[in-house]
Amino acid sequence: MNPIDIRGIMEYLPHRYPFLLVDRVLELEHGKRIVAIKNVTINEPYFVGHFPHLPVMPGVLMIEALAQAAGILSFETLGRRSDASSVFYFVGIDGARFKRPVVPGDQLRLEVEILRFAKSISKFRGVATVDGAVAAEAELMCTLRDVEPPQRPASSPASAV
């Protein structure tokens, strides 16, 4: 598999700035695993308040980045792309652990493997590392749900001026 750049990632995920947390996919094994990266920069909006004197990436966003990588893996495994008729929801976290802070300049390596894959609820094991050291890890549960596509508002007749 060739690496997937940001344009390809945006075909798989509905997330957009400032909440798109996957910058590149390095490896993807259909139905098995994905390796992706998130480049952490001082320009991230959360660093303004977390923390002004010592910027640290929030742990919950590391877990979200792992879930987004799981979403790409799931859509690819299903042979689908993100669209307005479905949403890939994050529905659970087990065993989340945070081992080291992630700071601007770090490159977060996201490794996610499928533990169980089903349309109802799929389970993944995710590990986020920086320079080979574990920053965060967790088991994630996600589900793909069909949703009503957004409706266009009905046109109202133009009023005379």
Smallest CA-to-CA distance from 36 within 77, 8, 16 is with 8
Residue 30 a catalytic site member: no
Among 15, 30, 50, 53, which one carries the catalytic annotation? 50
For the four alpha carbons of 132, 15, 124 and 101, in that order, the dihedral sign comes to positive
Query: Would you state the structure tokens that stand for residue 2, as one six-digit string?
Result: 């060739």
The residue ranges of DSSP E strands in the chain, in sequence order, are 24-29, 33-39, 86-98, 107-116, 122-130, 133-146
Active site residues: 50
